[in-house]
Amino acid sequence: MHKLPNLYFLRFFLAITVVIYHLPITSRRIGVPEFDDISFIHKGGVAVFYFFSLSGFLIIRNLYLEYKRTETIDLKKFFGRRIGRLWPVYYLVIVLGLFIQQVLIPLLGVGYQLDYSVKELLLYYVFFLPNVFNDMHKVGGILNITWSIGIEEQFYLLFPLIFLIFRKNIKLALSILLVILISILFVYKAFYRYENFYFYFILAGLFAILAEEGKLNFMKSKLLRIVLIVLFLASFFTDIFVFRDVRYTHMVNLIISNLLIVSLAYYPIIVLDKLKLNYLGEISYGIYMYHMIVTTFYLYAVKQFNLAKYFGEGLLIVINNIIIIAVTLFVSHLSYRYFETLFYKKRLRIPFKEKFARVGRLFSR
């Protein structure tokens, strides 16, 4: 199963876009100077939908290649990989988020009224329904970002079973499911009130299979690939594809995101992996999950010490962005190196005792 180029860099770009999106929102809530007057700052939601497409593309491709190679799907192995990759950080952030909201913030004397019980939250979050719970309650930024992880988990839990059932006609099954999900978007939009836009995953998976079968060779056109990059940049740096009816915005994002992923992975104009940026893509899950913890702590400190008085608002905003991104990258690196690899990076062949020795060294610093 060969590695596809450029997708790690895309992961990193999407994760940083989400970080930048949340910074002015959190600054405004805390009372720190902020700036959000350019289109790119508002593209966190678009980045998450691209993440959905990327996840569907990779997961369904892997299932397809496994079935093609073995004529079966090893569900135990699949779920084991997903659990090891996602659950440790997901549950760690939930625990940290609850501790910060329930214990730390009250100790600091910061007023923060919650309209839910911890038991109620845990019931939804443990069973991967944070998107549903977040629609009902204001959970705060640290926990709020888990909504998209819940949707990805819902997809991971259900789709391998669907794939196994319809494996002999998987392209037809994907096509029918895609039509149904998009039709629901236009005839019963309330179904998607929980941001459960599964059609991003499904179209991406269909494209992955077609690409593996060599049926998307029209994308070898250099002109088409250049146009896709231009459309991608326009999606993130302008509002040209933001429509009053959000359903049309989704359709544009759906098409551009999936065609772009195929283009980058199978028909690249340039291979960005040569820039040695793959590691930043590998830690992108941590960037996404930890950035609100870093942002919240840092901005409360900025307000507490009234740093705007010393730097001025404009310079402080620049400093805030640089420090939050840098610290988030560092925290994500530590998590990936000393925590996440304990659960899923078996190919590193690190002795079990050494893994826990690393964690001990981390906390002893």
Q: Would you say residue 39 lies in a domain? A: yes
Q: What are phi and psi of 145, to 5 degrees?
A: -65, -10
Provide DSSP, 185-203: HHH-GGGGTT---THHHHH
pLDDT in tens, the chain (365 residues): 567 999 999 999 999 999 999 999 999 999 999 999 999 999 999 999 999 999 999 999 999 999 999 999 999 999 999 999 999 999 999 999 999 888 887 787 766 677 889 999 999 999 999 999 999 998 988 999 999 999 999 999 999 999 999 999 999 999 999 999 999 999 999 999 999 999 999 999 999 999 999 999 999 999 999 999 999 999 999 999 999 999 999 999 999 999 999 999 999 998 887 667 899 999 999 999 999 999 999 999 999 899 988 999 999 999 999 999 999 999 999 999 999 999 976 544 444 455 445 545 544 54
Q: Would you say residue 116 lies in a domain? A: yes
Q: Would you say residue 49 lies in a domain? A: yes
pLDDT at 185: 97
Q: Which domain holds residue 168?
A: 7-364
Q: Would you say residue 1 lies in a domain? A: no
Q: Would you say residue 2 lies in a domain? A: no
Residue 287's H or E segment, with its range, is: helix 284-304
Category of 5 on φ-ψ map: left (φ > 0), alpha (ψ -120 to 50) or beta: beta
Contact 323, 51 (CB under 8 A): no
Please report the sign of the dihedral spanned by the C-alpha atoms of residue 252, residue 46, residue 139, residue 302.
negative
Cβ of 100: how many Cβ atoms within 10 Å?
19
pLDDT at 174: 97
Contact 168, 73 (CB under 8 A): no
Q: What torsion, rounded to 10 degrees, do the Cα atoms 355, 356, 358, 363 define? A: 150
> What is the radius of gyration, based on Cα positions, of the chain?
21
Q: From CA 361, how far away is CA 339, in angstroms rounded? A: 12
Q: From CA 165, how far away is CA 158, in angstroms rounded? A: 11
pLDDT at 361: 53
Contact 20, 40 (CB under 8 A): yes
Provide DSSP, 147-165: HHHHHHHHHHHHHHHHHHH
Q: From CA 98, how far away is CA 101, in angstroms rounded? A: 5
Q: Would you say residue 77 lies in a domain? A: yes
pTM: 0.93
The greatest distance separating any two alpha carbons of the chain, rounded to the nearest whole angstrom, comes to 66
Distance of alpha carbon 248 from the chain centroid? 22
Q: What are phi and psi of 358, to 5 degrees?
A: -65, -45
Domain count, the chain: 1
